[in-house]
Structure 1
Amino acid sequence: MRKLTLAVSALAGITALPAHAQSSVTLYGLIDQGFNYVSNVQTGRSGGALTGKHQYALSDGATGIGGSRWGLKGSEDLGGGYKAVFTLENGFNINTGGLAQGGLMFGRQAFVGLAAPIGQITFGRQYDIVSDMLFAYSEAGEIPGHMGANPDDFDDLGHSIRVNNSIKFRSTQFAGVTVGGLYSVGGVAGSPGRNQVWALAATYAAGPFGAGVGYVNARDPNLSFFGTNGNAGGSTTNNMGSFGSATTGQTNPIYSGFASATTYQILIAGTKYHFGAVTLGGTYTHASFDGLGDTTAGPNPQRYTGTAVFNNGEVNATYTFTPAFSVNAAYSYTRKASVGASGEATYHQGTLSAAYLLSKRTELYALAIYQKASGTDSLGQPAVASITQLTASPTDHQLLVRLGIVHTF
């Protein structure tokens, strides 16, 4: 599908070094602004019941992996096919000028490493390798971007999570196969397994066909996986979301009640096929919050024990009318299995979108997302709809309509 490049070079300096060495530094960025209509968002609670109203608002970030950003990336030729590389990427909110990712200066990415003929290894704050390599198969990799992710982006296919203190390797493609891995050092004295994250992924591409599979294992996920932004807290803080209050809405109600999990596991498989003007894709996700009840990892006000399991299937399709104009549609189904006092829940989500390129760097887009929930969610309440990046609905349904513009530089 025709997508805007996330890192279009606007400023590059090339400096000659002795012998074979050559260095470059590139400034790049993306600004994503849009007008949202949301049918119903939570405003708090009254008399024990959730309250809400419809909302009109300017909102930052929908396409690509979501959110305005600027960054610096550079490389130094070391000879023999080897390079030193780095990336520093800042996230910001165009409507306020404020820093994103909890106020971190380079909260989107910050890493340094080496690139070789067999692949690249990097060290620092980075995206998980599985969402890196399988993002393109999902609806989040199409026109809607981050907002088109599965409900509350529970499987991180919408690139919500950055992993701190991580070592990541991604191979060069050989015979259509690319492999990758990530390990995040927990750093807890005397407990090497605490707060660690590891992940593996592999993809295969041959002509119009592509497929991939990946696995993530995060210990103490409330801290190691969901608690990596600048405003995160310790084990007494729910970094996965919020129960809300009398005057504030809930966040991530689909899974935020499971902050006491000892381990979070994700298994994702995806595929995509191009034929003519049509691109068809699909993903399957199995995610589990295991060992619930560990209050050294996160709060557990619902007193859950055991395991919460999510299964999701998604199909997406894009039709390219011209190189400048394309439309997209997708459907996903998510089911949460029963755990403790929390019953089962299901989420249906449908997406329609269109995009038009005014130039190689400027895109206009429109999208509509509808979600319908049923059952009991992680907060032990009748399940409410919660589209990724929005405040949750007070009811079992939610509609988003968005008109936006993206400019890359």
Structure 2
Amino acid sequence: MKRTLLAAALTGAFAVTAHAQSSVTLYGLIDTSLVYANNEGGHRNWLQSSSSTQNTVFGLRGTEDLGGGLHAVFKLEQGFNLNNGTEAFPGDGFGSQAWVGLQHDRYGTLTFGRQFDVFNDMVGPLTSGFNTWGGSIAAHPFENDNLAADSVVPNNVVKYASPTLYGVTFEAMYAFSNKAGGFADNRSYGFGASYSQGPFNVAAGYLQFNNAGGGVAATNPNGAVSAGDGSANFVAERQRIWGAGGSYTFGPATVGVVWSHTQIDNMSSVLSLGLGSDLPLGGTLRLDNYEANARYTITPAWSVSAAYTFTDGAYDDGTTGSSPKWHTAMLQTDYMLSKRTDLYLEGVYQHVHGGPAGSVLSDAMINTLSPSSTGTQVAVIAGLRHQF
């Protein structure tokens, strides 16, 4: 009897210890807003929108201490549209993120599954489109460089992230096509690095998609970058992205600059988040994005931010060439009601000229909105965000 009681006591003690060394957290972010657009398809529009600046998500993240500095880690995250309750990635149970891995305090982290790419991880935090003080609606045209908060989330990813050593962090990834006999058919790979020391931050990286969305021939639409759930910003034979940026903080102000270059070969379509569908676009497209941004904290609760991006393009459909150019400007003010809830007011302006007439390259299209019927589009957003 005493042995039975002792065994029960020890079992209970071990269960408590194991529980203390493991944790699972429910978390989320809700972003809702009222949006005025001066031109969507030739008409003014007032709409109630979800995820204008940040993805609206809920998820579970967890860690287990395996001893010796080693931890098992995971994240399961689902994006959704607050205004109607639908999935952000149709058909995906955890479309925003779904991964598991091992993390070592000394040797870094190795993760497997659906997760953000390394270029977004490293360079994204230096852009306005990635952050709450600008967000998705302030992204570069067509979200061409995958740096905004709503960037492409590849499938089948193996990613390594180094520990931070003397301010330096390095990441590398490979996303498998998962197709028998088609190892390179809809795969992705990339690498990036960042350096942070005091008020100074710099980062650079490279990312490549091969046959994203299955490519023009739709040979493998559910590989690394899926076409079925709306993950592919461009369906193309190849998309290559590289870039770098930096920021500096002095007192209540932070200023930053980012450059990115995107090359897209043999396209068939480009995604319009506002329409929720792809728009036809063939040929090749080269884009250089030059962004300057700034944020100023007036009080601990109140801040203002601004960004301007000039995008220089070169387009060729095999018969004619053109040089479209975009000017995108953003201005936001944000007020924190608490540590988890804030209100924001944001304006975004975009103007494009020089694109081929009648194509998506000749009409302005602010990210998350439907395209304008002209080369100019203006949006004003009043929003509420809550984190839990």
Q: Normalising by structure 2, report the TM-score.
A: 0.86
CA distance in 2, matches of 1:230, 1:293: 15
- Tell me if 1:315 matches 2:292: yes
Residue in 2 that maps onto 1:11: none
From 43, 66, 71, the equivalent of 2:59 is 71
Match of residue 89, structure 1, among 57, 77, 86: 77
1:120 aligns to 2:109 (yes or no): yes
Is the radius of gyration larger for structure 1 or structure 2?
2
User: Structure 1 residues 320, 225: closer, same or farther in 2, change over 3 A?
Assistant: farther
Distance 1:378 1:126 in 2: 37
Matched position secondary structure for 2:87: coil
Shift of 1:22: 1.4
| Matched-pair contact (CA < 8 Å) for 2:189–2:207 | yes
The question of whether the paired residues in 1 share the 8 Å contact of 2:279 and 2:360 is answered with: no
Helix, strand or coil at the partner of 2:43: strand
1:396 aligns to 2:387 (yes or no): no
Aligned to 1:267: 242
RMSD: 2.4
Whether 1:145 aligns to 2:135 is yes
Check whether the contact 1:137–1:270 (CA below 8 A) recurs between aligned residues.
yes
Give the total of aligned pairs: 354
Match of 2:206 in 1: 215
Instruction: Write the mapping of 1:8-407 to structure 2, written as runs, cut at 5 A.
Output: 16-17=16-17, 22-42=21-41, 52-63=42-53, 66-117=54-105, 118-140=107-129, 141-158=131-148, 159-223=150-214, 227-228=225-226, 230-231=228-229, 240=232, 259=235, 261-291=236-266, 304=283, 307-339=284-316, 340=318, 341-376=320-355, 380=359, 383-407=362-386
Q: Which runs of 5+ in 1 are unaligned?
A: 1-14, 43-51, 233-238, 242-255
Structure 2: state its 5+ residue gaps: 1-14, 215-221, 270-277
Tell me the SS of whatever aligns to 2:213.
Answer: helix
When residues 303 and 113 of structure 1 are mapped into structure 2, their CA distance, relative to the original with a 3 A threshold, is closer
Distance 1:38 1:221 in 2: 31
Answer whether contact 2:186 2:225 (CA < 8 A) is retained: no
- In the alignment, which residue of structure 1 is the partner of 2:6? none
Q: Given residue 31 of structure 2, which amino acid in structure 1 is its aligned partner? A: D
Deviation at 1:230, TM superposition (A): 4.6
Pairwise CA distance, 1:308: 2.1
**Residue aligning to 2:10:** none
Instruction: Give the whole-Å Cα distance in 1 for the aligned partners of 2:152 and 2:370.
Output: 18
Q: 1:377 to 1:176 in 2, by over 3 A?
A: farther
**Matched letter for residue 300 of structure 2:** P
Q: Which amino acid aligns with 2:247?
A: K
Q: 1:393 to 1:88 in 2, by over 3 A?
A: same
Q: Secondary structure at the match of 1:338?
A: strand
Seq. identity, %: 38
The one-letter code of the counterpart of 1:329 is A
User: Residue in 1 aligned with 2:274?
Assistant: none
Whole-Å separation in 2 of the counterparts to 1:400 and 1:100: 22
Structure 1 residues 226 and 86: alpha-carbon distance in aligned structure 2, compared to 1, 3 A threshold: closer
* CA distance in structure 2 between the partners assigned to 1:24 and 1:377 by the alignment: 55
Distance 1:376 1:283 in 2: 24
2: distance between equivalents of 1:301 and 1:271?
35
Classify 1:308/1:171 alpha carbon distance in 2 versus 1 (closer, same or farther; 3 Å). same
Encode CA deviations 1:52-87: one digit per residue, 9 max, x unaligned: 200001100133xx2211000011100011100110
Structure 1 length-normalised TM:
0.81
Cα distance change on mapping 1:302 and 1:400 into 2, 3 Å = closer
1:195 to partner: Cα distance: 1.3
CA distance in 2, matches of 1:225, 1:286: 24
Higher relative contact order (CA 8 A, sep 6+): 1
